[in-house]
Amino acid sequence: MADILDWTNAALNDLDMNAYAERADEMAGRLSAETSAGRLPFLTMPYEAGLRRELEELREYLHDFEHMLLLGIGGSALGARALQRAFFPQQDQPGHTGQSLWIADNVDAYALEAYLAKLPPEKTVVVTVSKSGGTIETVGQYFILKQWAQKSLGDAWSDHMLLVTDAKQGFLRGEVERYGIKALPVPDNLGGRYSVLSAVGLIPALFLGIDVEALLSGARKVAAPLAQDDLTGEQLAAHPAFQLACWGAALQDKGFDEMIFFAYIPLWASFGDWFAQLWAESLGKEGKGSQPVPATGVTDQHSVNQMFMDGIRNKACLFLTCPNLPSGPRFPADLPDQFGYVRGKDFGKLLQAEGLGTRMALAASGVPLVEISLGEDSPEQAGKLIALLGAATILTGWLMGINPLDQPAVELGKRLAKARMDADGLEEEKADLAAYLTAERDIREF
């Protein structure tokens, strides 16, 4: 079956998309200029041939390890987790043995101490992902794991380290040069939330035996038409990423400032977290944007769906489905009469029925909804989805008049945290901290 977008319930009659659709020529010109200048490697993937060679060279090396500990945060971790959950679910199931991916994506002393105590050093490769090499949440854990490996493995410690960082500069690049640690680059102009189909996400995928070529092939099918030097407005207008972008921008004009990502492919639920960073960090600028809300079918029918259907009318929905999921076991034939409607039916049919019911109910409740229906739940389809949503996000940002590739607001919190740890400089931030910490507080017990 084909991969399709179903626009039936997108509320197109209530949205003014024409003003955005008429900018197709402008957006096509901008895409051509940006891709030609090398500023959108997410779409052009100029690094692909070299990356494939590097991954192939890593294959035998990774085969010697049973555990991979990935040190990364945000875009350095969310894509890898989504791929693991979708295509290597056995790790989370009873009785698993063999390869295991562990992701240290927080400043969590409990988890870090567990990794130090329980992972066998001789069977573990530690992968540190930081483009800048200065992300303290990640590099701080690297320091601790480096010491752990040195104590346990002696001179062989560096053979158990793999760094994914800038090709030329930064602290981690210095570690590569000093200790001869294996390393793969994060391409220039490739932000973390757009980086899952680079070494950032594909090294963990390769380790777990996920079909890396299929992921890349799927992405190419969606991205390649957008990366043409001679892209026309007519071609762009026909592309689903631009159509989603026009919808996304028009929704905000009508006050739909929340975007639900409802995944009715249970194993793909973590793509909701990946999408949340992509959408929020790209579009939350200058008082604009819409809040992404990850949701999992059918789990969230019984939790937050009440708000979706009967709360404030400010929500739109991307609804992810696949009609060809496993059928599962059959319900027994001797069920009580009150459950007779499922007698002898495949368990998997219940998920499809629940998804259909929820789509209809959301539409009836006034929630604009576009269904993304995948022909199958394979790595190729995942690559297509990643490219589609990434391109749609970039184009939505441009239509909104903001830069979807930076994240200026998050830097303040980082500077204040460094000031709290008494980093050099940052005198203004230290003064702000002192004022904040000495101000009178309204504190109440509970």
- Indicate if the alpha-carbon torsion angle 205, 209, 211, 212 is positive or negative: positive
DSSP bridge pairs for 370: 318
- Catalytic, out of 34, 258, 281, 380: 281
- Catalytic, out of 177, 302, 427, 440: 302
Whether 281 sits among the annotated catalytic residues: the reply is yes
> What does R_g of the chain's alpha carbons equal in angstroms?
23
Cα separation, 193 vs 42, in Å, equals 10
Q: How many CB atoms lie within 10 A of CB 430?
A: 17
DSSP bridge pairs for 259: 292, 316
Cα separation, 397 vs 191, in Å, equals 15
Q: Which residue has the tokens 């972008």?
A: 245
For 398, list phi and psi in degrees, rounded to 5. Answer: -65, -40
Whether 414 sits among the annotated catalytic residues: the reply is yes
Per-residue DSSP letters for 164-221? EE-SS-SHHHHHHHHH--EEEEPPTT--GGG-TTSHHHHHHHHHTT--HHHHHHHHHH
Whether 302 sits among the annotated catalytic residues: the reply is yes
Give the β-pairing of 291-296 and 315-321: unpaired
CB-CB contact of 338 with 319 (8 Å): no
- Catalytic, out of 254, 288, 345, 414: 414
CB-CB contact of 359 with 370 (8 Å): no
DSSP bridge pairs for 273: none
Amino acid residing at 66: E
* Residue 155 burial (10 A CB sphere; 0-12, 13-18, 19+): exposed
Both tokens assigned to 421: 């740890």
Active site residues: 281, 302, 414
